[in-house]
């Protein structure tokens, strides 16, 4: 019997549009001999709507960015953990069954989706889902927490400090915020992704504005030293029960050709100044070190399912930049491409993640 898979996409975060495109890619790769999809979109206001498959054909167009439209339907999750039945109210208010759900694939990026919130709801309802659990998702989403934990186990991270919005409002002197840090400084929201709200700061006079930009995305800002090194990425995938996590056998590299950093436009809208090299050229010892550090970080932060781990490869070793528990997942995104070059095709990867979700004990 086929498993019913809820593809949950959209969401309230600033990465709503990216999530829509991710859902399109995964829907197209779903093995219809094994799975029946149920498309559930989350509007920017947080409404759960039933979306027809034919309407899931989203593309990243700078002039017409995709969005989950509020079509007037409302999806209802199971009433308790003893049921897996989902229901929907149509535009007239008539309620009908959507059937029994086997697993949820939350293709959500950023807050309210990648940070443990949706994961907590699904665990409350005892519904299996793809990806990391509540604690892992929350830790990885919060850059300050993740860096603190990683540093405590001997994984190198860039020097940083964090400041909350409340602390910032009570400051009378901003001059000390860059103490001990090396320019260029990067200012980031502590809990956001896709480089939304990130600024590259080259002098002290720019710091205040950059922090205020970060606060538009989160109530904690991260102020971080720039690192001189190659920006490389590696993919990690949960092992089957009793088996260790797996790292991709190749890495990708972000090569800068004019841009100062890998911003939102470069990642998704095809702006010039950045080139992706995949597979990137590294030595066998560098690849081994990256793999070891990536798997160590994955295990320390208690990840499951997929993770893309970003490093700086420097003359003195590797510095972990960020860990993403629900990386971009279109067919051309870095995470699936890393596995493609490692011998695991996109459709097989989607199937593997769904099967892992059904076997994972939370």
The CB-side HSE value for 70 (13 A sphere, CA atoms) comes to 7
pLDDT at 263: 43
Residue in 66, 51, 53 with CA at minimum distance from that of residue 15:
66
pLDDT at 260: 56
Mean pLDDT of 347-362: 94
pTM for this predicted structure: 0.91
Mean pLDDT of 160-167: 95
Looking at 11, 14, 15, 217, which residue is catalytic? 15
Residue range 79-105, pLDDT digits in tens: 999 999 999 999 999 999 999 999 999
Task: Give the span between the Cα atoms of 337 and 239, in whole angstroms.
Answer: 19
pLDDT over 60 (residue 261): no
Cβ atoms of 188 and 198 closer than 8 Å:
yes
Looking at 304, 308, 321, 346, which residue is catalytic? 308
pLDDT over 70 (residue 289): yes
Catalytic-residue membership of 322:
yes
Residues 6+ apart with CB under 8 A from 199: 186, 187, 206, 209, 210, 213, 214
DSSP designation for 252:
E
Q: Strands, DSSP E only, in the chain?
A: 3-10, 35-42, 48-50, 74-76, 85-89, 95-100, 103-106, 160-164, 185-189, 199-201, 220-225, 230-237, 246-247, 252-256, 274-277, 306-314, 317-324
Q: To the nearest 5 percent, what fractions of the chain are helix, strand and coil? A: 30, 25, 45
Mean pLDDT of 256-274: 53
Residue range 104-130, pLDDT digits in tens: 999 999 899 999 999 999 999 999 999
Task: Give the span between the Cα atoms of 268 and 19, in whole angstroms.
Answer: 12
Mean pLDDT of 44-59: 94
Looking at 137, 225, 324, 333, which residue is catalytic? 324
Q: How confident is the model at residue 14 (pLDDT cuts 50, 70, 90)?
A: confident
Catalytic-residue membership of 15:
yes
CB atoms within 10 A of CB 276: 16
Task: Give the span between the Cα atoms of 120 and 116, in whole angstroms.
Answer: 6
pLDDT at 257: 63
Catalytic-residue membership of 310:
yes
Looking at 217, 310, 321, 352, which residue is catalytic? 310
Looking at 328, 333, 346, 352, which residue is catalytic? 328
Looking at 19, 137, 194, 225, which residue is catalytic? 194
Q: How confident is the model at residue 270 (pLDDT cuts 50, 70, 90)?
A: low
**DSSP helix/strand/coil, 255:** strand
Task: Give the span between the Cα atoms of 84 and 86, in whole angstroms.
Answer: 6
Catalytic-residue membership of 32:
no
Looking at 268, 298, 335, 346, which residue is catalytic? 268
Cβ atoms of 104 and 127 closer than 8 Å:
yes
Residues 6+ apart with CB under 8 A from 220: 142, 144, 162, 163, 164, 165, 189, 190, 191
pLDDT over 60 (residue 74): yes
Looking at 123, 265, 322, 355, which residue is catalytic? 322
pLDDT at 161: 94
Bridge partners, 188 (sequence order): 222
């Amino acid at each position: 019997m086929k498993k019913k898979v809820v593809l949950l996409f959209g969401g309230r975060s600033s990465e709503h549009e990216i999530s829509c495109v991710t859902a399109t890619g995964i829907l197209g790769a779903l093995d219809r001999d094994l799975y029946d999809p149920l498309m559930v979109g989350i509007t920017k206001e947080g409404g759960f709507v039933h979306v027809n498959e034919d309407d899931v054909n989203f593309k990243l167009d700078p002039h017409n960015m995709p969005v989950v439209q509020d079509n007037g339907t409302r999806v209802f999750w199971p009433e308790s953990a003893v049921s897996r039945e989902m229901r929907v109210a149509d535009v007239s208010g008539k309620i009908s069954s959507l059937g029994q759900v086997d697993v949820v694939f939350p293709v959500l990026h950023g807050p309210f989706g990648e940070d443990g919130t949706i994961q907590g709801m699904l665990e409350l309802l005892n519904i299996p889902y793809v990806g990391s659990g509540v604690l892992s998702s929350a830790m990885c989403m919060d850059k300050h927490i993740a860096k603190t934990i990683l540093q405590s186990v001997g994984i190198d991270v860039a020097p940083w400090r964090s400041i909350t919005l409340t602390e910032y409002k009570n400051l009378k002197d901003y001059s000390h915020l860059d103490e001990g840090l090396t320019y260029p400084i990067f200012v980031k929201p502590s809990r956001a992704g896709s480089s939304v709200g990130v600024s590259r700061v080259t002098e002290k006079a720019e710091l205040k504005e950059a922090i205020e930009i970060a606060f538009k995305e989160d109530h904690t800002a991260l102020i971080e030293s720039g690192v001189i090194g190659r920006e490389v990425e590696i993919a990690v995938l949960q092992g089957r029960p009793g088996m260790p996590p797996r790292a991709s056998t190749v890495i990708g590299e972000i090569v800068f050709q004019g841009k100062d950093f890998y911003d939102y436009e470069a990642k998704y809208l095809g702006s010039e100044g950045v080139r992706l090299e995949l597979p990137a050229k590294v030595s066998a010892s560098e690849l081994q070190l990256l793999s070891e550090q990536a798997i160590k970080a994955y295990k320390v932060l208690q990840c499951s399912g997929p993770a893309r781990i970003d490093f700086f490869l420097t003359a003195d070793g590797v510095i972990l930049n960020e860990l993403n528990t629900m990386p971009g997942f279109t067919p051309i995104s870095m995470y699936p491409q890393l596995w493609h070059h490692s011998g695991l095709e996109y459709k097989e990867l989607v199937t593997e993640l769904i099967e892992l979700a059904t076997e994972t004990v939370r």
